[in-house]
């Protein structure tokens, strides 16, 4: 049986940080819509050029574009056992599209971990975040510093600050989240799939809580 997991939470909640741990432990591909866009921006593809303006302004890329890239990604063979979705869906239209897409593969969303973190904490997490160029591993100059400043602990590549992690853009991303993504919490709560995790706990503790709940769901 395939297992599709949707990681939900505001910008900076720790979705990417946790997705790296959970996908490795559960043997599921980590699909991050934001990472797909950043790769395309780096490679200057048509998709990257289209997405860049929206991302730099802290807006969402239009639903039809994002739904199409996720549909294509989920159709690849590595997603047969399921996938861990990080950053998708982000609107009710995307959530409905995901259900239609998964139906084609005779699958469904199994569980939706929601990492909750208060707004003031999010801002300091995002403006202090450093991301690695090769593998998108994330660090924080204060809360999760790399062993060597400017270098990724996992693959030795350079760390950089994302263009959309500037203070003004961060504030806008949080308000876009509150307007467009927050309704998904109720949507998945009504379906009995929401599982809330306190994202202010230390990183390792958030991982333990998540992995315990996910293994309970997977092993039934």
100 in active site: no
Residue 38 catalytic?
no
Q: Which two tokens stand for residue 173?
A: 């991303």
Nearest approach, Cβ of residue 139 and ligand AP5 (Å): 5
Distances (CA, A) of 142 to 46, 92, 147, 202, 203: 36, 35, 12, 13, 13
Among 20, 38, 125, 129, the active-site one is 129
Task: Verify whether residue 133 is a known catalytic residue.
Answer: no
Pattern of binders to ligand AP5 over 116-155, x per CB under 6 A?
---------xx--x--------xxx--xx-----------
> Any idea what the Cα angle at residue 33 is, between residues 27 and 37, rounded to 5°?
125
Q: Which of these is catalytic: 20, 38, 73, 90?
A: 90
Q: Give the residue, chosen from 8, 22, 26, 60, that forms a contact with ligand AP5 under the rule CB under 6 A.
A: 60
82 binds ligand AP5 (CB under 6 A): no
> ω before 90 within 30° of 0 (cis)?
no
Q: Does 55 bind ligand AP5 (CB under 6 A)?
A: yes
Pairing of strands 82-86, 3-7: parallel
For ligand AP5, the binding residue among 83, 109, 159, 206 (CB under 6 A) is 206
Catalytic residue check, 57:
no
Per the residue annotation, which of 20, 38, 125, 173 is the catalytic one? 173
DSSP 156-215: -PBEE--GGGSHHHHHHHHHHIIIIITHHHHHHHHTT-EEEEETTS-HHHHHHHHHHHHH
By CB under 6 A, residue 17 contacts ligand AP5? yes
- Of the residues 15, 30, 73, 193, which one makes contact with ligand AP5 according to CB under 6 A: 15
Is 129 one of the catalytic residues? yes
- Chosen residue from 4, 37, 188, 195 binding ligand AP5 by CB under 6 A: 37
Tell me the pairing of strands 194-198 and 109-116. Answer: parallel
Of 61, 79, 109, 111, the one binding ligand AP5 (CB under 6 A) is 61
**What is the bridge-based pairing of β-strands 129-132 and 138-140?**
antiparallel
Distance CA 130, CA 139 (A): 5
Q: Which residues are at the interface with ligand AP5 (CB under 6 A)?
A: 9, 11-17, 33-34, 37, 54-55, 58-61, 66, 87-88, 90, 94, 125-126, 129, 138-140, 143-144, 164, 173, 199, 201-203, 206
């Amino acid at each position: 049986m395939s297992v599709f997991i949707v990681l939900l939470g505001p910008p900076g909640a720790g979705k990417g940080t946790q997705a790296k741990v959970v996908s490795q432990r559960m043997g599921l591909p980590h699909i991050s819509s934001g990472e797909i866009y950043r790769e395309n921006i780096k490679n200057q593809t048509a998709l990257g050029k289209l997405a860049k303006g929206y991302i730099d302004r802290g807006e969402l890329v239009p639903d039809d574009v994002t739904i199409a890239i996720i549909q294509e990604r989920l159709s690849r063979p590595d997603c047969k056992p399921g996938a861990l979705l990080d950053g998708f869906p982000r609107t009710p239209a995307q959530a409905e599209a995901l259900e239609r897409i998964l139906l084609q593969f005779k699958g469904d969303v199994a569980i939706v971990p929601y990492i909750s973190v208060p707004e003031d904490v999010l801002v300091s997490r995002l403006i202090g975040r450093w991301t690695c160029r090769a593998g998108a591993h994330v660090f924080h100059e204060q809360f999760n510093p790399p062993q060597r400043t400017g270098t990724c602990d996992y693959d030795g590549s350079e760390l950089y600050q994302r263009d959309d992690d500037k203070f003004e853009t961060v504030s806008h991303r949080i308000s876009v989240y509150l307007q467009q993504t927050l309704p998904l919490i109720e949507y998945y709560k009504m379906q009995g799939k929401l599982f809330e995790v306190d994202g202010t706990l230390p990183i390792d503790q958030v991982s333990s809580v998540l992995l315990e709940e996910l293994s309970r769901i997977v092993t039934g």
